[in-house]
Structure 1
Amino acid sequence: MDECCAVVDLRQYTLHPGQRDTLIDVFDEYFVEGQEATGMHIVGQFRDLDDPDRFVWIRGFADLPSRADALAAFYGGPVWREHSATANATMIDSDNALLLKPLELRDGYPRLDSPRPPIGTTDIPGSLIAGAVYHRGAPDDGFVEFFTDHVVPALVASGAEPVAVFETLVAENNFPALPVRDEVVLVWFARFDDEAAYDEHRRRLAASPTWQQKVLPELVCRSGKPAQELRLRPTARSQFK
């Protein structure tokens, strides 16, 4: 388990057309260290490969009280005050956020001391972070056990071993200025060296009788709506890459 973060925000922003690089430039230059100075861990920030106007990022907190304190310090502080107008001008919607807790974090998921490229780095990694958001019925629905016992083995067999698995943290949002979605989910992420490796994973899943005939139908039955599949390209300064 991450020595930092028992609480995680997964945030997905819908941006005005053509504005994603502007937001990433501001984020990577000012908001990574600006937020971490208040006690957060900026785990990763990404371009969504299936939506040119979506920016996705993950940040962690030691616990819920630390989350409230860190968010208040950052959004009431000088870094946000100086650069918020530029960031906000890129956004149509910033309320697509999930409050999560880690179920499993493996090697490959960034720790506090994981390397991060310095400010000014422009080289975008060729790797992919991919995964899914599953929409569940209730916290006690048995979904975690089903995922662990049946979904994970099928993913591993297809070359997509999850390095991070989260579920909804059922708790009151203690920083209501930033809304979070009121639903129960399970989220997983895996790392791929490149798009070809990801495509091979999808090909193997499609060809797997176990996945197609057993796991996927049960997954659909247990889900409240279709899963959100994510294919994410790390930014130049993302730790998770």
Structure 2
Amino acid sequence: MTNVTLVPHGALTVTPTATSSADDFDFLIGRWVIQNRKLKARLSNSHEWDTFEATGTLRKVLHGRGNIDDFITAFDGKPFEGMALRIFDPATKLWSIYWSDTHRGTLDKPVVGSFDGDIGRFYCRDTYEGKDIVVMFQWDKTDLAKPVWSQAFSADNGRTWEWNWYMYFSRPAQQITFREPIRVLELRNYQMQPDMTQRFVQYFSDHFVGTQQAQGAMLPGIFTVQGEADRFFWMRGFGDMASRLSYLQNFYGGPVWKGYGREANSMMIDSDQVHLLRPWRDDGVGDAALGDGRYAFVVIDYYHAKEGKRDALLQALTNVYSAKMKEQGVLVSLWVTEMQTNDFPRLPVIQEKDLVVTISLFLKEGDYVEGALNQAEVEKYAIRKETVTLDRVLNR
């Protein structure tokens, strides 16, 4: 284990472990969703904690001898970004970890240390509200899929420690496993400001994917629209209308949207092109199709049925298109409009009673088979048909 010698009012002496190396933080490379538990008041015998979510991404620098990660969240409705810089000294075999954030104009004093197996400890002397303290960071990578960072302060030269912050890391889902069937689905098609789509994709991925999933929304995917450079498309699902209302109230009244919503809205021209749907048959097929992140090319067909022809159209799609796609291993789900009252009018939705939607998923664009129904069949049942083709954005 990293050895530290604490001389009262003197310098820290940190000795590395024999196995300390520049690869010690490789487990942290990539994107994370971070659940935080932070003591409200430090070194005051407090037992009250704040909990909140953040996202982070780590990349290696300095030809592998260092790394940088970000920490993105919101406090009191204001965006907050932190940054950690870690540098490995091959001469001393010690890591130095520096922190800065949007409240600072400098790097904090580095904590210094190393890993012993799955546990890393890092120390420095500092002050907190006028008190001389020792700071300790601890990394626990026993479970590489769910590492834990924690921080402790000591005001008595290391005799006792107060743990004041825990971060619990998990990877954003790639292939999504939903906690319950999707019985309410929003198809959200945004018109973006010119040349703003790619920036919005990154912004949305960084701030809204992990946070929405953590709060109970089911996100089958985010997409760009083929042939329309200024379009962004995403799906959001719920177990029922009651859970949708509860989620929307909490998310749009919560700190993440308050912190980042204004910037997101500034990149859009229109976000009201939203269809509110339910599965035609509650058989789980829709979940199987929507939740499989391997399917990178998505085709959505909107059929505007003639009056009284909706159910006949659905039957024709089942007998002809779905059967044809099933033979080729394509996942297809059929949806109709959810006609319950939109009880969150702040977010308008389209509720067309004779609308039928098919969502078809292909591994790649080359697998696409065109023509859900031939033109004569479409004209028999529908006033018109609109098709949107989507490329899934993978959130790595």
* TM-score, normalised relative to structure 2: 0.49
Distance 1:148 1:191 in 2: 16
2:367 corresponds to which of 197, 201, 210:
197
Higher strand share: 2
1:153 corresponds to which of 309, 323, 346:
323
One-letter amino acid matched to 2:383: G
- 1:224 paired with 2:383, answer yes
The Cα RMSD (Å) is 2.5
**1:121-136 pair list within 5 angstroms:** 127-136=296-305
2:244 corresponds to which of 67, 70, 75:
67
Unaligned runs of 5+ in 2: 1-177
One-letter amino acid matched to 2:376: P
Q: Which moved more, 1:33-42 or 1:10-19?
A: 33-42
One-letter amino acid matched to 1:38: Q
Distance 2:264 2:386 in 1: 25
Deviation at 1:106, TM superposition (A): 6.1
2:270 corresponds to which of 93, 116, 126:
93
- Match of 1:175, SS? coil
Distance 2:229 2:308 in 1: 33
Distance 1:141 1:131 in 2: 17
**1:6-17 pair list within 5 angstroms:** 6-17=183-194
Distance 1:91 1:220 in 2: 35
Confirm or deny: 8 A CA contact 1:106 1:163 kept in the other structure. Answer: no
Residue 4 of structure 1 corresponds to: 181
- Match of 1:67, SS? helix
One-letter amino acid matched to 2:239: A
- Match of 1:28, SS? helix
Distance 2:240 2:289 in 1: 22
Confirm or deny: 8 A CA contact 1:160 1:191 kept in the other structure. Answer: no
Partner deviation per Cα, 1:142-171 (whole Å, 9 max, x = no partner): 2222221233234456x4734322111111
One-letter amino acid matched to 1:109: L
Residue 73 of structure 2 corresponds to: none
CA 1:19/1:132 → structure 2, altered by over 3 Å: closer, same or farther?
A: same
Residue 286 of structure 2 corresponds to: 105
Higher helix share: 1
One-letter amino acid matched to 2:356: L
Deviation at 1:138, TM superposition (A): 5.2
Distance 1:57 1:77 in 2: 21
Distance 2:240 2:269 in 1: 29
Unaligned runs of 5+ in 1: 116-124
One-letter amino acid matched to 1:105: G
CA 1:237/1:139 → structure 2, altered by over 3 Å: closer, same or farther?
A: farther
Instruction: Specify which structure has the bigger relative contact order, considering alpha-carbon pairs within 8 angstroms and separated by 6 or more residues.
Output: 1
Distance 2:205 2:359 in 1: 21
Distance 1:57 1:107 in 2: 17
1:50 corresponds to which of 218, 227, 230:
227
1:176 corresponds to which of 345, 349, 353:
345
Distance 1:172 1:129 in 2: 28
- Match of 2:345, SS? coil
- 1:76 paired with 2:76, answer no
Bigger radius of gyration: 2
Deviation at 1:195, TM superposition (A): 2.3
- Match of 1:100, SS? strand
Distance 2:182 2:287 in 1: 14
Confirm or deny: 8 A CA contact 1:160 1:190 kept in the other structure. Answer: no
* TM-score, normalised relative to structure 1: 0.78
Confirm or deny: 8 A CA contact 1:7 1:99 kept in the other structure. Answer: yes
Confirm or deny: 8 A CA contact 1:135 1:224 kept in the other structure. Answer: yes
